Amino acid sequence: MQNLPGKTAFVTGGASGIGLGIAKALLGAGMNVVVADIRDDHLEAARGELGSPERVLALKLDVTDRADYARAADAAEARFGKLHILCNNAGVAVVGPTDLATFADWDWVLGVNLGGTINGIVTILPRIQRHREGGHIVNTASMSGLLPHPGATIYGTSKGAAVSMIECMRAELEPQGIICSAFCPGAVQSNISEAAKTRPAKLAESGYAEADKRRQQGGNFFHLYQTKEQVGERVLKGILNDELYIMTHSEFRQGLEERTEAIRAAVPDLPENAEYKATFSMLFRNPIHAAEIVRQKKLRGSPS
């Protein structure tokens, strides 16, 4: 998406970490920014860090609450008029072996990460479509969504869904001038280790309490992580370039290549049914992938 100045972005979980980094970058690009977050203390700190009160609206929102979401979208439109960019960024995590997971662990993480993203799409997409000026939807997934790994079954499930959602919507919405991007960062300095503070009492029963305590005591690796400003600028660049996958780290290259090759290698050596292939052609290739290969080669200045 181009011509950002004067347009409006709605960033969930925008008052801390990656969301705040995205909000800063979009504000720096001349946009109005709605920062929607469940935590009052994060909202207060974000107001101070972002400044520019004339172009920033910091709103309390629980993305799992659909009525709350509609009210927040109404308030955003009342303040800035049209909404153009939706960043489905609010997210929480539990980490540890799958057999420790309770239903509440699954419901909480999927409720925020996937349910909150669904609520963003259903609430905000029609508002973007209505003004016909185009727009952009960014789902903050994770490299865990592209390269799932042991110990992150619930989180990886939510993030894989966030990527798939973008891959399904992209070709549908592109003709309307609405671009969809999956943001897939590696590790970023943030407050996600405090996520349990926003966990609702009715979903409190966790199998990960001990694992969480041990992890909190396990040391701080922030020196290995990118900053929220670095990744915020990366998202801005990804939006301006219409990138399908917005990535931040090269360390995952081999893992991604192995996963892609493993999937390719598993395709059976059977004769194709030409009629099946012709009848349902849209199932066998998604045009966004070929287009992205061309886009990325162009961005890197290599011949397509």
Which residues here bind ligand NAI, judged by CB under 6 A?
12-13, 15-19, 37-39, 42, 61-64, 89-93, 112, 116, 140, 142, 185, 187-188, 190-192, 195, 198
Shortest distance, position 242 Cβ to ligand NAI, whole Å: 21
Separation of alpha carbons 138 and 231, rounded Å? 13
> In what order do the strands lie in the sheet containing 32-37?
56-60, 32-37, 8-12, 85-88, 135-140, 178-184, 245-247
Separation of alpha carbons 63 and 91, rounded Å? 10
Shortest distance, position 62 Cβ to ligand NAI, whole Å: 5
Shortest distance, position 103 Cβ to ligand NAI, whole Å: 18
User: Annotated catalytic, 276?
Assistant: no
Q: How far is CA 194 from the centre of its chain?
A: 19
Shortest distance, position 79 Cβ to ligand NAI, whole Å: 18
Catalytic residue among 69, 155, 208, 245: 155
Give whichever of 22 and 169 is closer to ligand NAI, judged by the CB atom. 22
Give whichever of 116 and 135 is closer to ligand NAI, judged by the CB atom. 116
Q: Which residue is nearest to ligand NAI (CB)?
A: 91
Which residue has tokens 């694992």?
Answer: 211
Separation of alpha carbons 128 and 137, rounded Å? 10
Burial of 60 (0-12, 13-18, 19+ CB in 10 A): middle
Give whichever of 37 and 243 is closer to ligand NAI, judged by the CB atom. 37
Give whichever of 134 and 235 is closer to ligand NAI, judged by the CB atom. 235
Task: Determine how many CB atoms are found less than 10 A away from the CB of residue 165.
Answer: 20
Which residues participate in catalysis according to the annotation? 155
